[in-house]
């Protein structure tokens, strides 16, 4: 029920892959002398990259400052990338159910709606407990649910009830269809909160 940085990771990996590929091609062209043949202004493969004393090149304060700023920037980007890997819940704050101020504005805490969803799920036969999390906006809401059932619950019946009763009721309350829904099922040996249980006929992954 937590959001991960999968999309950002894929984007940065593509960017780093392109940069690494471009750098590798450039090194191969320079080592083979092709780069110098294509552009005589470039340094030949046998020529040193830096001539003279390195202390003279890196001696000016401006060069030191540029290297320092580049190092701090790269370190900061790396730190931000690491921090972005921490899973986050990112719950919605409040839903604005009416957009026209002239006709009135209705605000509803997403946690209240999530509690209503949990209470409805907990009444289903075979359910031990549940938790719900709403994300997005009132116009494009996302719902993620974690449902714990007994080891003798009819999982197909629980999923059918959620899809035909719980989710439509929430859509009716928000007056808009849910953009995305996710259900995480867990099996527990505890007794169900309400209703009766029946033998399951197999393992179902939804």
Print the domain residue range for 30.
6-84
State how far the Cα of 29 lies from the Cα of 40, in Å rounded to an integer.
13
Instruction: Please say which residue of 84, 104, 135 terminates a domain.
Output: 84
pTM of the entire predicted model? 0.54
The answer, yes or no, to whether residue 187 has pLDDT greater than 80, is yes
- Residue at 67 is within a domain: yes
Interval 17-50: pLDDT, tens = 888 888 888 877 777 777 667 766 655 555 565 5
Instruction: Say if residue 105 is in the same domain as residue 132.
Output: yes
Instruction: Say if residue 101 is in the same domain as residue 45.
Output: no
Instruction: Say if residue 80 is in the same domain as residue 115.
Output: no
Interval 127-181: pLDDT, tens = 999 999 988 887 888 899 999 999 888 999 999 999 999 999 999 888 888 888 9
CATH number at residue 170: 3.30.300.30
State how far the Cα of 69 lies from the Cα of 44, in Å rounded to an integer.
30
* C-alpha angle 18-20-24 in degrees, rounded to nearest 5: 115
Instruction: Say if residue 145 is in the same domain as residue 64.
Output: no
Q: What is the DSSP string of 52-80?
A: S-HHHHS-SHHHHHHHHHHHHHHHHHHHH
Strands 141-150 and 180-188: parallel
Interval 55-79: pLDDT, tens = 666 667 776 778 778 878 887 877 7
Q: Which helix (H) or strand (E) holds 149?
A: strand 141-150
- Residue at 197 is within a domain: no
- Residue at 201 is within a domain: no
- Residue at 204 is within a domain: no
Residue count of the chain, please give it.
206
Which two structure tokens, joined as six digits, stand for 160? 């059918």
Q: How far apart are the first and last CA of the chain?
A: 15
Torsion sign, CA atoms 116, 166, 181, 205: positive
């Amino acid at each position: 029920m937590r959001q991960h940085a999968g999309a950002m990771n894929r984007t940065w990996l593509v960017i780093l892959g392109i940069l690494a590929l471009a750098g590798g091609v450039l090194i191969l062209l320079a080592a083979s002398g092709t780069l110098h043949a294509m552009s005589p202004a470039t340094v030949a493969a046998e020529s040193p990259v830096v001539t003279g004393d390195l202390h003279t090149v890196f001696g000016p304060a401006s060069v030191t400052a540029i290297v320092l700023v580049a190092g701090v920037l790269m370190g900061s980007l790396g730190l931000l990338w690491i921090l972005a890997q921490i899973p986050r819940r990112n719950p919605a704050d409040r839903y604005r159910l009416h957009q026209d101020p002239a006709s009135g504005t209705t605000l509803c805490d997403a946690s209240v709606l999530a509690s209503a969803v949990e209470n409805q799920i907990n009444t289903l036969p075979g359910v031990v407990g549940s938790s719900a999390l709403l994300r997005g906006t009132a116009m494009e809401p996302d719902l993620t649910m974690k449902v714990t059932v007994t080891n003798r619950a009819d999982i197909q019946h629980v999923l059918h009830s959620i899809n035909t009763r719980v989710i439509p009721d929430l859509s009716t309350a928000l007056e808009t269809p849910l953009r995305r829904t996710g259900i995480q099922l867990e099996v527990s040996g505890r007794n169900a909160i309400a209703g009766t249980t029946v033998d399951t006929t197999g393992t179902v992954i939804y």
